[in-house]
Structure 1
Amino acid sequence: MPVTLAIAGLLFATGSNSARTDVDGGRQEELSGLVSQENRKVDAYDQQVERMQREVDRASRARARNDKVAARAQERSDELGRTVGLGPATGTGVRVTLDDAPRTEIGEGNIPPDYLVVHQQDVQAVVNAMWAGGATAVQVMDQRLISTSAVRCVGNTLLLNGRVYSPPFAVTAVGPTDRIAGSLEREPGIRVYKQYVKTYGLGYEVERLTEVTVPGYRGTLDLQFAESGR
């Protein structure tokens, strides 16, 4: 979490200074370098967590071979893991790619900058439509989504599970292609986004996949934030 907050802070700083002249160009490059450095730290932490998870898994399975109670617990754990998305999913699917408008459009001073970039609600609309269309697994960039995943945008960058991504943003789903494609067509948020695609040149591409594999979730399973029902 501290690394995630550090990355977000750097991005907010970068965004707040984006309107300055080229005099601050060196500072912008420095901030971008710091973001890349924090991304590398997150990658290293993730690799360490994966190694520890594999060690725990091996120890649990070794005990289950000689302990009936442990064996039943392991079977239950495997079943729950598949349900919540800890294992890979393979099948037919759909991939949607969202992108900012071309640089030539972004440079036009009479067009509000917010009209020319992909926003958090655009990515979320695609994710929601995929779930509504019967997706059994959804991945944003290289990150598997589970029930506690949160898609956040800072400026025109995506913050997910401690990593920062720049557009184009790829959202991939495993599931029935026709149903998912139909759900994408009906989603109100995507219909609004397509108006900006037509008017301002934002990118939107839908690809049907005969076979795709979405990896299992590898982040923390702790619930960081919750809000009680009203």
Structure 2
Amino acid sequence: MVTDVRPDRGSDDAAPLNPVPSADDAQQPGGDRPRLGWRFLVPIVTAGAGLMFAMSFQAAQGDDLRADRDLPSLIIEGNGRNEAKAKELDLLQQEVEALSKERGPKDSRLEALNRESTKTAAAAAATALKGPSVEVVLDDSSLSLDQLPSRYTADDIVVHQQDVQAVVNALWSSGAEAMMIQDQRVISTSAVRCVGNTLILQGRVYAPPYRIEAIGDVDSMLQGLDADPTISTYLDYVQAVGLGWAVHTHAEAELPAYSGSVDLDHATPIR
């Protein structure tokens, strides 16, 4: 049997948590060691803090070290670099293609492969395409939080990923032949993702309004937009909290060729 020998709180025999040292204890060697330790430690800590402040001042030179870390400006700057590199890549790819056709080896097998690639280029969005189009524009509401009805929240006045995806899916399923989101051509591996109130597409970040344009049978695509249940829900919020929604048709539009890289883990040829 284990006996509990802890003193009871009401017992006179209980040892105090912080016993007061006796006169004899105060005279024991080493009794002043903690106080002497702090006496040496405090100047060292103070000197270290002063050194850190001096180094920070020297590095800042009177400026705010975090002043250049504004996230929106960094995103805009990064988008500009990506756009410039994409244009440069597009020109280089056109140059490589022209040189390959001009100076490449000539044999029947290679020519047959080139003809086959030309046939599938349109489906792979590797060529520009012209035709009648439908353009859809989605935008955040202009209402502030204090202007919202009581049953609505901040999430209800911004465009979400599922809203953009609903428009994309409705256009594809109703006969779109080619599509563009913002300034990028959409391909079969393109993924629409939203982080907060920004859209990420193929490594680039966009802020609303979001512009989606598709070439194809205009009447069919308009019917597809009207019939989509997710878009119907979005239109309810357009009426309730002022989300942006606009649909335009164009007699002829031109969508540029996709110029980015294509990375596939698995692929199956279409028979």
- TM-score scaled by length of structure 2: 0.68
Structure 2 match to 1:53 = 93
Given the alignment of the two structures, is residue 155 of structure 1 paired with residue 196 of structure 2, yes or no? yes
Structure 2 match to 1:127 = 168
Q: State how 1:55-70 maps to structure 2 within 5 Å.
A: 55-63=95-103, 66-70=106-110
Q: Quote the Cα distance in structure 1 between the aligned partners of 2:222 and 2:188.
A: 22
- Counterparts in 2 of 1:106 and 1:206: CA distance versus 1, 3 Å: farther
- Counterparts in 2 of 1:177 and 1:28: CA distance versus 1, 3 Å: farther
- Which amino acid is 2:256 matched to? P
Q: Quote the Cα distance in structure 2 between the aligned partners of 1:29 and 1:97.
A: 31
Q: Quote the Cα distance in structure 2 between the aligned partners of 1:88 and 1:215.
A: 4
Aligned-pair distance for 1:71? 2.1
**Structure 2: gaps of 5 or more residues:** 1-65
- Counterparts in 2 of 1:68 and 1:161: CA distance versus 1, 3 Å: same
Larger radius of gyration: 2
Q: Quote the Cα distance in structure 1 between the aligned partners of 2:87 and 2:106.
A: 30
**Structure 1: gaps of 5 or more residues:** 1-25
Pick from 108, 112, 133 the counterpart of residue 153 of structure 2: 112
Deviates further, 93-102 or 41-50: 41-50
Structure 1 match to 2:225 = 184
Structure 2 match to 1:82 = 122
Given the alignment of the two structures, is residue 167 of structure 1 paired with residue 208 of structure 2, yes or no? yes
Say which structure, 1 or 2, has more relative contact order (CA 8 Å, 6+ apart). Answer: 1
Q: Judging by fraction of residues, say which structure has more helix.
A: 1
Given the alignment of the two structures, is residue 196 of structure 1 paired with residue 237 of structure 2, yes or no? yes
Count matched residues: 200
Structure 2 match to 1:19 = none
Give yes or no for contact 1:90–1:214 (8 Å, CA) kept in 2.
Answer: yes
Aligned-pair distance for 1:63? 3.8
User: Percent same amino acid among aligned pairs?
Assistant: 39
Q: Quote the Cα distance in structure 2 between the aligned partners of 1:95 and 1:127.
A: 11
Deviates further, 174-183 or 78-87: 78-87
- Which amino acid is 1:86 matched to? A
Give yes or no for contact 1:138–1:173 (8 Å, CA) kept in 2.
Answer: yes
Structure 1 match to 2:178 = 137
Give yes or no for contact 1:64–1:70 (8 Å, CA) kept in 2.
Answer: no
RMSD: 2.3
- Counterparts in 2 of 1:223 and 1:66: CA distance versus 1, 3 Å: closer
Give yes or no for contact 1:120–1:152 (8 Å, CA) kept in 2.
Answer: yes
Q: Quote the Cα distance in structure 2 between the aligned partners of 1:168 and 1:29.
A: 25
Aligned-pair distance for 1:67? 3.6
- Which amino acid is 2:109 matched to? V
Q: Report SS of the residue matched to 1:83.
A: coil
